[in-house]
Structure formats: structure tokens, C-alpha cells
Amino acid sequence: MMQDRDQKHKALKLCVANRWFPQLEVDVQPVRAIRVKAPLVTDLDVFASMPNVFRGFQTLVFDCKTKAKESPVNRSLWLRGVLDRLNADQGFCILRKEAIQLDHRMLATRLGIILLAEDEFDLYAAATSMAYKGIASNTSDIDLWDKFFAIPSAYPKLQEGLVFIRSAYWMIDDPAEACRKTLATLRALNSELDPAKPEHLAIFLDFAALFARSLAVVVSNIFKAYLHPANQVELSEALLTMLYGGHEAYEHRNQLYKRVKYQNKGTTPMDLSLPEWERFLILTRQLLDAPAESQRVPLILREVGFGILNRGSSFPFASSLCTESPQAARFALMVPDYLARAAKLPPEFGQASETVLLPLQPVK
């Protein structure tokens, strides 16, 4: 049974009501580990990504604490350290404590942390988000998160995928690297994933959500520098440079790649790029049509994935997300299509996602 369940549930609800992208229970790993299996630093209760036009996403950490013993101010000092580790912008500390010293609250506020007693959270949430009280979505349903995290107990081979979703992904600072690694991890699972199983579809769509999240940041950066690249070559160069950590790093990798791949072959070597590069360029160029809207794609995809996990046939909340942002709805259709092809998954993955996402497209 999940600890501090009620508090986490409320945090999830607040995130979804504000259209932030929440991640429940993120395991934090050390930055540079000495051991192969490094011991975890800590775990975060809820880690939320808030769309930001300039930065891609701002991030928030919700820390839910049941122990009455610990002093609130100590907890907020600890949380400040966690925020720094994750480059997060804002912290929430929810405590089962009746009275929190006002001075401690003030100190916490200066550290970028909001200290709240458990019974105050509802007031805070209702005052900052109109939708908080009536929210009904799959992503804010904590039972579905339990179900999602339990997938590896039925399908042990998918454990690695779950670890990536719950931890490894969130430890990557660079969005382009996160794109690459999300794709690579999904590719590694391609022989295990079966489109006939809703659990597998849910995992696929969650990977798509994470991929979309990082891609949105990449697109935001490209947009700031290039607006709309004048031609395909320019876009391609911009993306390669960004994906592989700068021009020099790309050249270095590319040379290694060509040497290894085309060692004893007479064929003309192809340059290093993501799989299905042409499609990736097309997808990225489409996202550049509305870079800010692309930041709303992850929540749509996770909502749909969890809906499938819940054996749902209608997706009312995902549908309202799509109506709020028709461009995001369109992008949400395109991301799984690319990802399924690039990860060489059975084609049914792309088709199944399309079957769900097409009817959600808002039509005036």
C-alpha cells in the first residue's frame, strides 16, 4: 500500500486540474554514481512539469509527510536540496502537523517551498485552481497509478521500462538526451511488447508521453533560435547538433558510428541520426507550428494510456484536453505514430493509438 496516499492523490489532482504533467513516486539517483547499482538518494512523492512558453517546462516537487515527529522547517531545508538536485523551481511540503510556525513558513517561502498542513492543502488547491474540486481524470486516479506500477509483476520483462519511466528519465538534465534515451529504452523492449495487451499499450503511450515532453523542450529551443527553419537541411542540422550535444560531439560520434557500422562493407555510409530521421524531421517541423501547444501533448498521451489500462472505451477528460488545444490534439496523434515506427514496434501499436486518438480530435 502506498504511503501518504491521500496527500499524493490530492497533489495529483491539483496537477491535473492545472494541466501540469505529474509523475508519481520518482526515485532519485545520485548524480555521478560509483557503484553500478547505486543506492537511491531518496524518492519524490509527486514531480510535476508545468508548461512554460520560454523554458519548455517548469518543475515542481510535492513532498508528502506523515510523520509527526519531524520539524517542518527541517523538512523544507531537506526539500531545498532535492530541488537543487533536480533543478526544480518550486517545492510543496504537505505535513500531518497541526500547527506550523509562521516564521518557519516564511523561511520556507524564501527557499521556494510552500509549507502546508494536510488540512490546508484543499484550501490552497481550491483557491489556486478552479477545476480542482470537480476533477475526474485517469491521470489523477491514484488506483490507476498502483495498477500501472504493478505491471512488471505480471510482465517481469517490462521492469526495465517501468524503471525508466519512474526514475531514469527524470534524472536526465538534457532534453535531447532524454529524447534519445526514451527511444533507445523503448527499442530495447520492442520484442517484449504485445499490442494485444492493454498494459503494454499503456506503457507504450507513457513512453510516448515522456518522449513528447522532451521533444517539446527541444522544439521550444529550436523555435527560440531558428523560429521556423528556412529549409529541411537547416532543420536537420539544428536537430542533429542539439540531439548529440553540439557540433563537435556529433561529428565525433558520427565518425565512430560510420567506422563501426560500415567496417567491411562497400556501401555508402549513412550519417548518424535518430531512426526514421525523415519522419522525425516532419514531426518536429509540425510541432514548430505551435511550440507552446506541444507542451500539452504529454498529459493527453498519459491520460489516454491510463484510460486504456483502465479498460476504458471513452476518454472524456482526454477529449476535453484535446478541445482545449486542437493543435496539441493533432500532435498527440503524430508522436506515437513516429515513436512506434522508430522503436520498430509491431505496427498495431501505432494503429491502436490512432484508433483512440483520432476520435478525440476536436471538430468544430
CB of 19 to other proteins, least distance (A): 17
CB of 23 to other proteins, least distance (A): 27
Smaller CB distance to other proteins: residue 51 or 229?
Answer: 229
What does the block give as the cell for 250? 556529433
Smaller CB distance to other proteins: residue 334 or 339?
Answer: 334
CA-based radius of gyration for the chain: 21
CB of 133 to other proteins, least distance (A): 30
Cell 478525440, residue?
360
Judge residue 19's burial from the number of C-beta atoms within 10 Å of its C-beta, 0-12 exposed, 13-18 middle, 19 or more buried. middle
Residues binding other proteins (CB under 8 A):
227-232, 278, 282, 285-286, 289, 326-327, 329-330, 333-334, 354, 358-359, 361-364
Q: Which of 16, 15, 18, 44 is nearest to 29 (CA)?
A: 44
214 φ, ψ to 5°?
-70, -40
300 and 322 Cβ atoms separated by less than 8 Å: yes
CB of 348 to other proteins, least distance (A): 16
170 and 51 Cβ atoms separated by less than 8 Å: no
Cell 548529440, residue?
244
Distance, CA of 148 to CA of 151 (rounded, Å): 6
CB of 291 to other proteins, least distance (A): 11
CB of 217 to other proteins, least distance (A): 21
CB of 160 to other proteins, least distance (A): 31
Smaller CB distance to other proteins: residue 160 or 354?
Answer: 354
CB of 319 to other proteins, least distance (A): 12
Distance, CA of 187 to CA of 250 (rounded, Å): 21
Count CA atoms within 13 Å of residue 195 on its CB side. Answer: 13
189 and 204 Cβ atoms separated by less than 8 Å: no
Smaller CB distance to other proteins: residue 64 or 333?
Answer: 333
For residues 174-208, one letter each, b for 16 or more C-beta atoms within 10 angstroms of the residue's C-beta and e for the rest, the string is ebbebbbbbbebbeebeeebebeebbbbbbbbbbb
Count CA atoms within 13 Å of residue 173 on its CB side. Answer: 10
What does the block give as the cell for 278? 525523415
Q: Which of 347, 211, 178, 251 is nearest to 203 (CA)?
A: 211
CB of 310 to other proteins, least distance (A): 23
Smaller CB distance to other proteins: residue 89 or 354?
Answer: 354
Cell 490546508, residue?
120
64 φ, ψ to 5°?
-110, 130
